[in-house]
Amino acid sequence: MARAKHPLGIDIGGSGIKGAPVDLDVGEFAADRLRIQTPQESTPDAVADVVASIAEHFEKATGDAPIGVTVPAVVSRGIVRTAANIDQTWTGTDAGELLASRLGRPVTVVNDADAAGVAELHYGAARNVDGLVLLATLGTGIGTALLHRGVLVPNSELGHLQLDGADAETRASSHARETEDLSYEDWAERLQRYFAHIEDLLWPDLIVVGGGVSKHAERYLPLLHLRAPIVPAQLGNAAGIIGAAWLAVNG
């Protein structure tokens, strides 16, 4: 019997578009990841050309298996509702239809933080947690994913809660820490206020912190005093691709 082809996960970011076939049995790439620079004018058509190139590159490994694609935006039923770090012409675009038509294969389009959260739920730090999980990616902004008993609650956008009279992501993101040259101790004070506010609203059972700065979790997570355990993400930059592929197959 021929082996089933692997689904393809593609993660569209502000600087790079990355993709790989994913072995969903283990939550790992089934081939080396391919990264192509995001077009300077990152319009839907220009990005679709890059996505098509990645799909063609992995055609032997994926066949006509479904494709999951993440975007840094609110997505409802395949339609992009906002645009962060990509061209504003994405807003209102039916990205699911655009990419499915371009690729000739089933395509699921999701928010990037939601995809990362799903990956951590099934293969990473949130595995086997029965309750409400919050994933927060601390990067240029703050992306969030909410997962309740294994079910994604999409487009939570909790990086836009108010902190010190402004969007939390402008005060507590990794970018804010770097821009303002904050020590990890000073940054942790902001994170404490942010996550404590979320706890008062939602009472999560677990908080998972992702983004590149999660590699240095030992420098700031021990400084936080929250009701819920707060732990670093385990899948790193692979999470978006893995989660996208999982959602392409499982909905």
Q: In this structure, are residues 135 and 144 in contact, taking their beta carbons and an 8 Å threshold?
A: yes
Tell the residue number behind the tokens 């707060």, with chain if given. 230
Q: Is residue 193 classed as helix, strand or coil in its secondary structure?
A: helix
Tell me the backbone φ, ψ of residue 49, rounded to 5 degrees.
Answer: -65, -40
Local structure of residue 68 (DSSP, 8 states)? E
Among 210, 66, 238, smallest CA distance to 142 is for 210
Domains of the chain: 8-114+238-250 (3.30.420.40), 128-234 (3.30.420.40)
One-character DSSP codes across 31-67: S--EEEEPPSS--HHHHHHHHHHHHHHTHHHHTT--E
The pTM is what? Answer: 0.95
Residue-level pLDDT, tens digit, the chain, 251 residues: 345 799 999 999 988 999 999 999 999 999 999 999 999 999 999 999 999 999 999 999 999 999 999 999 999 999 999 987 789 999 999 999 999 999 999 999 999 999 999 999 999 999 999 899 999 999 989 999 999 999 999 999 999 999 989 999 999 999 999 999 999 999 999 999 999 999 999 999 999 999 989 999 999 999 999 999 999 999 998 999 999 999 999 98
Local structure of residue 216 (DSSP, 8 states)? G
Element (H, E) at 144: strand 142-148
Tell me the backbone φ, ψ of residue 120, rounded to 5 degrees.
Answer: -65, -30
Tell me the backbone φ, ψ of residue 85, rounded to 5 degrees.
Answer: 65, 15
